[in-house]
Chains A and B, each alone.
Chain A
Amino acid sequence: MHLLSNIIRTERLPHEFCPGCAIGQVYHYAAKAVEELGINMDKVVFLSGIGCNSRGVGYVRFDSATTLHGRAIAFATGVKLANPNLTVIVVTGDGDGAGIGGNHLIHAARRNIDLTVILYNNRVYASTGGQLAPTTPYGMYTSTTPYGSLEEPFDLCSLVAAAGAVYVARWTTAHPYKAINSIKKGVLKKGFSFIEIIGQCPTYFGRYILKTTDPVKCLKWLIENSIMKESTSKIPAEELSNKIVVGEFVDKDRPELTEQYRILREKLKLQLV
């Protein structure tokens, strides 16, 4: 019996993911966080967009949807406003959430609506065959950058923090307990929280960029190339630009959208009387 058999739709196994893919880990973190928080699972909604990551929602036993490419946050906005009692978690990828869906990401952060967005970043478009993503490092070779990428990638945590998110953290699949802890914090946080998880994609990022399809080697690379936010001052700037900076970047409070709706409605009710 699976560790999370009350959460995983075991009847749907085997799954569609490549051997060694990080997506199973990411969903595991999310499911584990929900389980440990002890939330009524009937009131939890998982939404995703399109891409490798999005396939995962069909394997978790929650109210859930694989929505349109890039639009999960817009659907989630509708769900949460319609029923603020639901805990709404969006699992998205870097292409889905920051490429085609980047506009919804920054606007949801600006509105500070109570969603938890887990963005699994494998730094390529994987389900379509390893094309350039808005997160692919400069100079990297992908299916659509045969001469190397000429574009700088987004720093998604900085982007979302600047847009107004109240909780922002980044971890890799080599930091499972920290990632679970951050997801728990994000779910508990009243407002827009964003947890970026950099994960191994042996099939594309591994093969194209790390020149290995061995998931263990990919994970080792993630550990070796990650640096805690608190330690960044200890290394030279040029070295830092090649590192994955992990940690909590934002943890603050400001008025949440559905709560503001509730307050406004009550105020108007008094006026109308």
Chain B
Amino acid sequence: MGKVLFMSGNDACVEGAIAAGCRFFAGYPITPANEITERMSRRMFEVNGVFIQMEDEIASICAVIGASWAGLKAMTATSGPGFSLMQEGIGYAIATETPCVIVNVQRIGPSTGSIFSQQGDVMQARWGSHGGCYENIVLSPYSIQEMFSLTIESFNLSEEFRVPVILLSEAAIGHLRERLVIPEKINIVNRRRPTVSIKDFKPFKALENEAPPMAFFGDGYRVYYTGHLHTVEGFPVLSLEKYPLAEEVLKRISSKIRLNIHRITMLDARYINDAKIIIVSYGSSARAALRAVNEARKNGIKAGYLRLITLWPFNYQKIRELCSYADVVIVAEVNNGQILYEVQRALPSKNVIPLLKLADTHTPMEVLAKIREVV
């Protein structure tokens, strides 16, 4: 076993980022993500990286994208209001295929809300940027160990697919403290670099299921980025008639994710095979669900536990397979119903019922009561 530590989710996120090779952090103060920004302000200097506190969240995501172009693994951390401000930048990172990681330690909304925990940004993380022609990757940690490991995974997926990855945490996980075991061996993925000559390099040319190699600013490839619909060379498409292949790049930024969904999907399924009732949950809600399912099993109730680690892309087929034996599926989440509707889409012929809460997290008693209600 590796080194055993005891730390908060926000602190573990920083250590995960550094282990993944993150060497640039730009951010702006916001509760409950401050511990990430504060720890980064010390740790980045210790690992020869860059920390900067920008003038707002808009500037933070832009600086992160710029640093990524210059070759560094870069991230920012925020909460709901700041996440909203970053949406234009996130869309730009998707369009320019810029790897970066955005941590959103969710708090209650709408608007300023308060510092209470909530899981309200699930749909914003998926659809928050304008122009719906995109796919992205959103991961949900439920423990301090996962704040560490999923931050690394966020960087790895981001580097492989050249896409911003959103680590959708919550106040309830960011401020929780738990045992963290630092593994002795950590798998790290780095973005591919071009191997062809400068003359032959097409910055946005790749197979439909992959991201193109990335040249860094200063490498001599003289790359041009734009948020415009662009050709494989990277230049704006000014006329759809003149560039009939204009949609090639636009299609690929979705297909590179869709065609790899089996590799991106992470699920945690327990007691599933004989379960008549399955609780689907994620993040902090899953902690209560797990305890409730453990209790139910002790009492002879055939309850199952299915936790979504990858929220987006949503793997409808996999959910369908795992829930095939169940009669009732309960979706527990802390919002007005977001993942609920995706589960209903995945299971059109099943009884999918909500167990919603508007703030904080579920308690095991609440989940257990719902299980007993539907037995």
Physical contact A–B (CB less than 8 Å)? yes
Contact surface of A with B, Cβ cutoff 8 Å: 12, 16, 42-43, 45, 47, 57-58, 61-68, 71, 74-83, 85-86, 103-104, 107, 261, 264-265, 268, 272
Contact A107 B55 (CB under 8 A): yes
Which residues of chain B come closer than 8 Å to A79, judged between CB atoms?
66-67, 69-70, 217
Residues of B contacting A: mostly? mixed
Q: Can you pick out 11 interface pairs between chain A and chain B where the beta carbons lie within 8 Å of each other?
A: A42-B219, A58-B226, A71-B58, A74-B58, A78-B66, A78-B70, A82-B66, A82-B70, A83-B216, A103-B56, A107-B54
Q: Please, how many angstroms separate the alpha-carbon atoms of A28 and B54 in the complex?
A: 32
Q: Which residues of B, 222-239, contact A by the 8 Å Cβ criterion?
A: 222-228, 235-236, 238
B92: interface (CB < 8 Å): yes
**Whose C-beta in chain B lies nearest to the C-beta of A64?**
B224
**Whose C-beta in chain B lies nearest to the C-beta of A86?**
B218
Contact B24 A78 (CB under 8 A): yes
Question: How many A-B residue contacts, CB cutoff 8 Å?
Answer: 132
Q: Please, how many angstroms separate the alpha-carbon atoms of A6 and B218 in the complex?
A: 17
Contact A104 B222 (CB under 8 A): no
Q: Please, how many angstroms separate the alpha-carbon atoms of A81 and B24 in the complex?
A: 9
What's the least CB distance linking A263 to chain B, in Å? Answer: 12
Which residues of chain A come closer than 8 Å to B88, judged between CB atoms?
68
Which residues of chain B come closer than 8 Å to A65, judged between CB atoms?
69, 96, 224-226
Q: Please, how many angstroms separate the alpha-carbon atoms of A87 and B222 in the complex?
A: 14
What's the least CB distance linking B61 to chain A, in Å? Answer: 8
B63: interface (CB < 8 Å): yes
Binds A, one of B8-16, B42-50, B152-160: B42-50
Contact B62 A74 (CB under 8 A): yes
Contact surface of B with A, Cβ cutoff 8 Å: 24, 26, 45-46, 48, 50, 52, 54-56, 58-60, 62-72, 74, 88-89, 92, 96, 216-228, 235-236, 238
**Whose C-beta in chain A lies nearest to the C-beta of B61?**
A74
Residues of A contacting B: mostly? helix
Which residues of chain A come closer than 8 Å to B227, judged between CB atoms?
66-68
**Whose C-beta in chain A lies nearest to the C-beta of B238?**
A16
What's the least CB distance linking B190 to chain A, in Å? Answer: 15
The 4 closest A-B pairs by CB, nearest first: A78-B66, A78-B63, A74-B62, A82-B70
Q: Please, how many angstroms separate the alpha-carbon atoms of A86 and B218 in the complex?
A: 7
Which residues of chain A come closer than 8 Å to B62, judged between CB atoms?
67-68, 71, 74-75, 77-78
Q: Please, how many angstroms separate the alpha-carbon atoms of A74 and B52 in the complex?
A: 11
Contact B59 A74 (CB under 8 A): yes
**Whose C-beta in chain A lies nearest to the C-beta of B63?**
A78
Contacts A42-B220, A68-B92 given; does A81 touch B63 at CB 8 Å: yes
Given contact pairs A63-B217, A79-B69, enumerate 20 new A-B contacts (beta carbons under 8 Å).
A12-B235, A47-B66, A58-B226, A62-B222, A64-B225, A68-B88, A68-B227, A71-B62, A74-B54, A75-B66, A77-B26, A77-B59, A77-B66, A78-B66, A81-B24, A81-B50, A82-B74, A261-B50, A265-B45, A265-B48
